[in-house]
Amino acid sequence: MDIVFNCPACSQELTIEAGSAGAQIKCPSCGKILLVPRARPAKPAPKAAPSAPADEAEMAARLASSYNRMRTEVGKAIVGQDEVIEQIIIAIFARSHCLLEGVPGLAKTYMVKSLAEAMALSFKRIQFTPDLMPADITGTDVIQENTEGGRSLVFLRGPLFAQMVLADEINRSPPKSQAALLEAMQEHCVTVGGQTYTLEEPFFVLATQNPVEQEGTYPLPEAQKDRFMFHVKVGYPSKDEEREIIRRTTGAHTADIQPVITGEEIIQCQRLVRKVPVPDHVTDFVLELVRRSRPDEPGAVPFAKELIAWGPGPRACQQLILGGKVRAVMQGRFHVTIDDIEDLAYPVLRHRIVPTFNAEAEGIPVDDIIRRVLAAIPRGKAKAGL
């Protein structure tokens, strides 16, 4: 399908191939440098007047249905990893970002690309390397000549200008390049040459890091990891799942993933989930969980000073509540429960609790510390409030 648009300088109508969307061209009439807009799907005829906002309950039911359909569509390409897929989708609907950690060959890239197809989002992959510069991510200004021989600065957009961005092996790039990505994650815009460019919504970054090779890497500081909503660990498949992976990848299997939800609908869902009510006893449970994980906090768990060097900050409370809201709606509920919080405690706190040297020397993983903290939180009042 061709893209038809008018030059803003001379009103000349231009017809460009759809594959050139996002590229820069010169207007054949006036020589102005133009950015080819993205093709938008044709609206069904007859064109109906904009309808009133859908009922919140109906939209919540649509979100739950879309989640189940997305799992089905992604399941055509990815075997297993249901928990990982669920956490990524929660982060998207919470308007946040994810940090994935797993050994090579677990289909992390394929998983994210499949999710982008199921959500009808534009997808770009950035391979982080030691020589990657910030301009390689955000884009840069270049000098171009027009038909009259004059020169002007034109901004060439980098791979960050996509709705779903995979930052592959983010810990292989120096801090300066990492910071360029983290700024875009927080502000949803980039500034180059004094000009600010807004990124297209919804905007989602999924960064991966390899836990097995640490030589020549630049690990993200804890303060920067806190920008990610979840730290998701991708584990090995089960024996049956690995058998199915072998069958699919060595045979003639092809995955035809159909779009389930659009970007505009995702933005509507992001607004909806913030209206989900949270009972007081759930908020109290979140506060107890986070505050008692801080070693210097009065009432901290007894083993906090021995195993925890730094505890989670207030952002952990925010992400637990917001993630719980999304999980509740995805499961067909319009209220958050303690089960939602417990289920998300590991990906939310995993990168926000810094273990002590003693804990690392004894081989105690962070997930085990989180499990001990959860077991130490009293649930008497919480259960009474259900």
Which residues does 113 contact at the CB level (< 8 Å), separation at least 6?
A: 123, 125, 166
Which has the minimum average pLDDT: 120-134, 149-163, 359-373?
149-163
**Among 65, 88, 90, 69, CA closest to 326:** 90
Which has the minimum average pLDDT: 140-149, 178-187, 209-218?
209-218
Residue 322: phi and psi, rounded to 5, are -65, -45
Q: Which residue has the higher pLDDT, 218 or 42?
A: 218
**For domain 56-249, is the CATH number 3.40.50.300?**
yes
Q: What 3 state SS string does the chain have?
A: CCEEEECCCCCCEEEECHHHCCCEEECCCCCCEEECCCCCCCCCCCCCCCCCCCCHHHHHHHHHHHHHHHHHHHHCCCCCCHHHHHHHHHHHHCCCCEEEECCCCCCHHHHHHHHHHHCCCCEEEEECCCCCCHHHHHEEEEEEECCCCCEEEEEEECCCCCCEEEEECHHHCCHHHHHHHHHHHHHCEEEECCEEEECCCCCEEEEEECCCCCCCCCCCCHHHHCCCCEEEECCCCCHHHHHHHHHHHCCCCCCCCCCCCCHHHHHHHHHHHCCCCCCHHHHHHHHHHHHCCCCCCCCCCCCHHHHEEECCCHHHHHHHHHHHHHHHHHCCCCCCCHHHHHHHHHHHHCCCCEECHHHHHCCCCHHHHHHHHHHHCCCHHHHHCC
Task: Tell me the whole-structure pTM to 2 decimals.
Answer: 0.76
Distance between CA atoms of residues 380 and 370, nearest Å:
20
Which has the minimum average pLDDT: 4-18, 180-194, 370-384?
4-18
Distance between CA atoms of residues 113 and 109, nearest Å:
6
Quick one: how far is CA 67 from the chain centroid? 15
pLDDT greater than 60 at residue 320: yes
Distances (CA, A) of 275 to 65, 204, 367: 19, 21, 31
Confidence of residue 369 (pLDDT cuts 50, 70, 90): very high
The CA angle 186-189-195, to the nearest 5 degrees, is 140
Residue with tokens 């002590």: 356
Q: Which residue has the higher pLDDT, 34 or 175?
A: 175
Give the CATH fold of the 276-384 domain: Helicase, Ruva Protein; domain 3 (1.10.8)
CATH 1.10.8.80 in the chain: give the residue spans. 276-384
CATH 3.40.50.300 in the chain: give the residue spans. 56-249
List pLDDT tens digits, range 107-117.
788 888 888 88
List pLDDT tens digits, range 267-306.
888 888 888 888 999 999 999 999 999 988 888 888 888 8
**What average pLDDT score do residues 9-26 get?**
67
Q: Give burial (CB, 10 Å; 0-12/13-18/19+) of 90.
A: buried
pLDDT greater than 80 at residue 251: no
Which residues does 133 contact at the CB level (< 8 Å), separation at least 6?
A: 176, 177
**What average pLDDT score do residues 154-181 get?**
84
Distance between CA atoms of residues 188 and 182, nearest Å:
10
Residue 179: count of CB within 10 angstroms of its CB: 13
